Amino acid sequence: MRTSLRFRVEEAMADLSVKGLLTSIGLGRVQRQQAALNLSSGGALLACSDPHEPGALVHVHIEIPGTSDVIEADGEVVRCAQGKGDPPRYLVGLKFVGLDGPQRGKIEAMRRWFTSPEYRLRRSSRRRDKGPSFELMG
């Protein structure tokens, strides 16, 4: 059962690393530039290039364009599902573990901004300025 309100974060990018001995000494594999789709003080949903086993302990670094704040958090993979597309993407649900007060405060401030009428107005005017988007069928 979800205890935190999720919100969409547009254009947010995340670096994800599986916690372990190799990661702790700087030799572990890090998936860079993964898309962070939504966020809450309880966790995040990422679109990743590789699957992750539920129960895996990870560290995530999330950057949101236009802000100077970064979310750094440890987490546990709670679900992983293959999405559509080529190459395949994996939707990875994370539950934050041990998130401290300042990080929770950042996420709450982001939630207020990304769900505000002002942000929605700016987002819709940006989309109108870009014009319609069409996918060509081949």
Which one is predicted more confidently, 32 or 14?
Answer: 14
Which residues are registered as beta bridge partners of 18?
58
Interval 20-57: pLDDT, tens: 655 555 555 667 778 999 999 999 999 998 899 999 99
In 1-138, beta strands by DSSP E: 7-18, 30-40, 43-48, 57-63, 70-82, 90-97
Q: What is the DSSP letter of 4?
A: S
Contact call for residues 94 and 57 (beta carbons, < 8 A): no
Q: Write down the pLDDT at residue 134.
A: 34
pTM of full prediction above 0.95:
no
Contact call for residues 41 and 25 (beta carbons, < 8 A): no
Q: Write down the pLDDT at residue 27.
A: 54
In order of their start, the domains of the chain are 7-125 (2.40.10.220)
Which one is predicted more confidently, 64 or 126?
Answer: 64
